[in-house]
Amino acid sequence: MADTERPQITLITPPVFDLETYPARLAAMLDAVDIACLRLSLASRDEDVILRAADACRQVAHQRDVAIVIENHVLMVERLGLDGVHLTDGARSVRKVRKDLGADAIVGAYCGVTRHEGMSAGEAGADYAAFGPIGQTDLGKGEVVDFDLFEWWSAVIEMPCIAEGALTAELVAKFGPVTDFFGIGEEIWGAEDPVAALKSLIAPIM
């Protein structure tokens, strides 16, 4: 990605939200900030909960021409009229999912901190590779993606990449020139004003 191109935003939903209030909050967010894609990242394993949450978010997103993908629930994509799926197991199932969903669906892969996993996902047919976390977090093994991975990726690989996980405004400023997207969710939804929190977070690239 050239330095003159501004990274786009993938907005990640909270793992749990209230269907009475969240769609309106989501709509306000999409109306206030230019969002390229919405990712449903739901903790529930209850099919009815997932269906209702996905349906509500799809309506909000598609009314604003924003693509929407769901984490891992491949069978929900066509059933609910979603745009694709975000796989969290790296390159492992990309090839099969691409075959199942067809060429037009968005198929993305979270590839942790490893360049090799991202390249394998691309070779298997992924549309993008997400790497993270890029900030310090107590979750997982405590690993952080090296800036060098993004620097190398932006110079060598054409497939878009997403930087995500424990983002701060300082990290957005640093990684802005070497990533195509920022994946943002947990950093903002706990704020009293999520729209203001997002605007503050991405101010360095606006």
Residue 4 pLDDT > 70, yes or no? no
2 inside domain: no
pLDDT value for 140: 65
Percent of the chain with pLDDT over 70: 97
168 inside domain: yes
Chain segment 28-85, per-residue pLDDT in tens: 999 999 999 999 999 999 999 999 999 999 999 999 999 999 999 999 999 999 999 9
- How confident is the model over 192-201, as a mean pLDDT? 97
CATH number of the domain that residue 37 is part of: 3.20.20.70
pLDDT mean across residues, the chain: 95
28 inside domain: yes
pLDDT band at 137 (very low <50, low <70, confident <90, very high): confident
Chain segment 156-188, per-residue pLDDT in tens: 999 999 999 999 999 999 999 999 999 999 999
Residue with tokens 């054409």: 158
1 inside domain: no
- How confident is the model over 118-136, as a mean pLDDT? 97
159 inside domain: yes
97 inside domain: yes
3 inside domain: no
Based on its alpha-carbon atoms, the radius of gyration of the chain, rounded to whole angstroms, reads 16
Q: How far apart are CA 193 and CA 29, in angstroms?
A: 10
45 inside domain: yes
Domain count, the chain: 1
Q: Which residues constitute the domain of residue 83? A: 8-205
Residue 1 pLDDT > 60, yes or no? no
- pTM given for the model: 0.96
